[in-house]
Structure 1
């Protein structure tokens, strides 16, 4: 397995001009023998966004990132990062990019602090006069100051993730690429990483965040793309993606059983009854093919003697959007 080196660790920085999109791909494809890992991907990531790259494990996310970062060659198609073609322009692009891909590659016999110093010394664009101060600032930012002197081999998975993120933050970056950054973190650690991502975006860094956790993407990202089985399903602002899916109908009533029966008779599907709460997928049309008003469902419940205490639609989530787009659940694909 290839491991990501700290971005900018090879080559000299060239001029990378102002661009509208930090990443653009056209028909980007990667094939391993008969296996099509990424299939004709057209991706557009706007400057200043927190972009969520969303899909089950095995959907092609990491393969895409490795092509974007110049770690592997595409089979066909093209990609641009910061307006420059990749992988041909790695020497000029990578000094402007921080990356954490497939987990950090660490020197286990070195402390967390010394790992960062080693990474930074391998970067020809890094100023050695500020090296130690920048390493300390990066450690502090990811909450590793207290463990900075401990050997990396003694770090937990979550601590290693934090250290890899610190390596990506040793210098200011125009683009930060994070592949499953909360892997191995406890809930508090996940919240801290989400807060850090928001802070970096507020400071002007575009963040490209790959994850299979829908809730993570929905909480922190402004834009997102959905991948499944190597293909791009959709992309755009997160609010628009979620708005494209219908929310679930929610009825609160002490007559939950009767409510479920009436709703089923009127075309509501995927019914779930839990105590005094009934949820389901509302029908798009009534029996005559006309668009159904939710008020009609409410009236049907009341007419059947159901005591309705609450009635409405829950806002659709990214998970709802994914199911609507793909017709399948968001399970790990391997």
Structure 2
């Protein structure tokens, strides 16, 4: 069941000029934030900092505690322990002043199926006490255009595909300017073209000054669109920071392209390269530890000296997935 503010609110509305500014340079901060359901620990002592102006990726497999965390941040559920602040105000205590400055799409949009997309947006806008009714239609049309739903605006929401519903839910969060936009799996149900459009929209919103907090289980989505990220697993925070630094924390892999894979694998192992894997005409491996940094020129000479026909050789940049594997010792379920 969609979890939203009000019935069926997808995010609180209001002019971002109202209320206090966030303290310092962060828009979200948590300290030892914890949520327990009976014996199940859904979120375990989470301490998170989301910088102002960032596109912050909240990354983790399905069931890692991402949505539970977002629900606590938005004041939809009470934490068991710990504290959270959004835009410099404590949550959930200050939700009446905070939520009008936040747009949110959590666990999918809650829509009136018997109303058209356009009518849904007008209904959402009418629920905002700060919205000028004289410009309601203009706001709805602008939001529909921004998410690519103008052509389907007159169609009943119950006839929308999952991807179209996601777009309409995002449109509800864009009826007013926002200081913070919280999106829980926003590309869920979208085809590749729709995913690219939503990612482009997120970048555009960030360029306009909106901080975007984006949860996802898709590693490539986080790498493509986010400036900062946090990695969750089994309710616990594994790491957080700039995306480039998180990926750099995992060492890249040596890659040799050659038809002589067996000989190449042998030479790499002899020079301390670990986890050597042969895939078709590629041989990859982890460089030796920091006390034995490989000299690529020496390795190349060793390969050539062993009669290996080297067609390509270098170090492949570490990815966010490499960082996740390094942190957890296990793979990442990108399919959810």
1:8 to 4, 8, 12: 12
Native 8 Å contact 1:250 1:314 kept in 2? yes
Q: Is the 8 A contact 2:2 2:110 kept in 1?
A: no
Tell me, yes or no, if the aligned pair for 2:102 and 2:179 is still in contact at 8 Å.
yes
| Structure 2 partner of 1:218 | 223
The equivalent residue for 1:180 is 185
Match of 1:312 among 311, 314, 323: 314
CA distance in 2, matches of 1:210, 1:293: 40
Contact 2:256 2:313 in 1 (8 A): yes
- Quote the offset at 1:310 in angstroms: 1.4
Q: Equivalents in 2 of 1:124, 1:182: separation in Å?
A: 30
Unpaired runs of at least 5, structure 2: none
Q: What is the match of residue 125 of structure 1?
A: 130
Query: Out of 35, 39, 42, which is 2:40 matched to?
Result: 35
Report the CA distance between 1:57 and its aligned residue.
Answer: 0.6
The answer for the alignment partner of 1:112 in structure 2 is 117
1:259-280 Cα shifts (integer Å, max 9, x gaps): 1232234443433333322222
Is 1:143 equivalent to 2:143 in the alignment? no
Partner of 1:301: 303
1:284–1:292 CA contact under 8 A, matched in 2: no
- Residue of structure 2 in register with 1:17 after alignment: 21
Residue aligned with 2:190, SS: coil
CA deviations on 1:272-326 (whole Å, 9 max, x unpaired) are 33332222222226xxx64443444333322211121211101111001111111
C-alpha deviations, 1:89-135, integer Å up to 9, x for none?
A: 11100110000000001111110111111111111122211111100
Kindly indicate whether residue 199 of structure 2 is the aligned counterpart of residue 170 of structure 1: no
Q: How far did 1:207 drift?
A: 0.3
> How far apart in 1 are the matches of 2:272 and 2:41?
39
Q: Secondary structure at the match of 1:40?
A: strand
Contact 2:101 2:178 in 1 (8 A): yes
Say which of 209, 212, 221 aligns to 1:207: 212
Q: Which runs of 4+ in 1 moved over 4 A?
A: none
- Residue in structure 2 matched with residue 264 of structure 1 by the alignment: 269
Mapped partners of 1:216, 1:118: distance in 2: 32
**Residue in 2 aligned with 1:193?**
198
CA RMSD of aligned residues (A): 1.9
Deviations 1:54-89 (A, max 9, x none): 111111000000000000000000000000000011
Name the SS for the 2:237 alignment partner. strand
Deviations 1:207-239, CA, capped at 9 Å, x for gaps: 000001010000111111111111111111111
The 1-side partners of 2:196 and 2:274 are apart by 35
Q: Report the TM-score when normalising by structure 2.
A: 0.93
Q: TM-score, normalised by structure 1?
A: 0.94
Equivalent of 1:328, from 321, 327, 330?
A: 330
Asked if 1 retains the 8 angstrom alpha-carbon contact of 2:22 and 2:86, the reply is no
